[in-house]
């Protein structure tokens, strides 16, 4: 049941050593929560980084012209290049996450926006303009994408530490699975219980509806 319902997470790290790998390490939402920003190849922001997973993913995929015109992803298309950038202050709060991702080679420390530009190919002038606009929006209390929380703005764009990594949307959770009843019995297509066969957790479907709320999978695994 519900096998067509899947949840995408907007930020899985692209490993520079194996960029085409079908398995990605998740870039935790904490990385955006502490102040990490998302940039396209032009050096511009394009969304509220702390919006819902579905909204951030949608705005990433909008960089593809086919998706932008049809609203559907065409298999075989190249995923848009998106960069996550944390300033020194955000990196300090992220702490062990930054240490782990850097150790894995997924995140790179560079010096200033010049270092960000050199590492990513994004125009330095565009990066400066984006950060200045972001700082201005933080003083106003809202940005063009509806963001109202601005944490850990970088204080030194020229020489401060920045942490940079490429990200891509990844499959995070499948709402579908085996159909069960209230006692955890696995059901047949005809609606009857299969004697002696029980299921709980992510193998089951029909529990969450079209999308899963954060934390619900833990409850799902402990109900029965």
Buried b (16+ CB within 10 A) or exposed e, 191-222: eeeeeeeebeebebbebbeeebeeeeeeebee
Q: Which of 32, 97, 208, 212 is catalytic?
A: 32
Q: List, in sequence order, every residue forming a beta bridge with 168; answer none if it has no partner.
A: 12
Task: Identify the H or E element spanning 13.
Answer: strand 6-13
C-alpha atoms less than 13 angstroms from C-alpha of 205 in its C-beta half-sphere: 15
8 and 48 Cβ atoms separated by less than 8 Å:
no
> What's the DSSP call for residue 40?
-
- Catalytic residue chosen out of the listed positions 9, 45, 208, 212: 9
**Rounded to the nearest 10 degrees, how much is the dihedral formed by the CA atoms of 218, 219, 221, 222?**
120
Our answer to whether residue 9 is catalytic in this structure is yes
Catalytic residues: 9, 32
């Amino acid at each position: 049941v519900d096998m067509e319902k899947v949840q995408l997470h907007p930020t899985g790290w692209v490993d520079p050593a194996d960029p085409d790998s079908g398995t990605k390490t998740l870039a935790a939402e904490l990385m955006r929560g502490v102040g990490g920003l998302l940039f396209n190849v032009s050096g511009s922001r394009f969304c509220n980084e702390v919006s819902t997973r579905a909204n951030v993913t949608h705005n990433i995929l909008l960089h593809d012209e086919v998706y932008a015109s049809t609203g559907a992803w065409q298999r075989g298309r190249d995923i848009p290049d998106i960069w996550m950038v944390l300033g020194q202050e955000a990196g300090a709060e992220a702490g062990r996450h930054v240490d782990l991702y850097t150790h894995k080679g997924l995140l790179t420390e560079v010096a200033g926006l010049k270092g960000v530009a050199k590492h990513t190919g994004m125009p330095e002038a565009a990066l400066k303009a984006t950060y200045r606009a972001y700082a201005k929006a933080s003083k106003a209390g809202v940005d063009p994408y509806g963001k109202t929380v601005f944490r850990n703005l970088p204080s030194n764009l020229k020489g401060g530490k920045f942490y940079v990594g490429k990200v891509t949307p990844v499959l995070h959770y499948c709402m579908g699975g085996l159909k069960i009843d209230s006692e955890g019995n696995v059901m047949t297509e005809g609606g009857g219980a299969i004697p002696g066969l029980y299921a709980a957790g992510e193998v089951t479907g029909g529990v969450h509806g079209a999308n899963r709320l954060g934390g619900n999978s833990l409850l799902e695994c402990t109900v029965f």
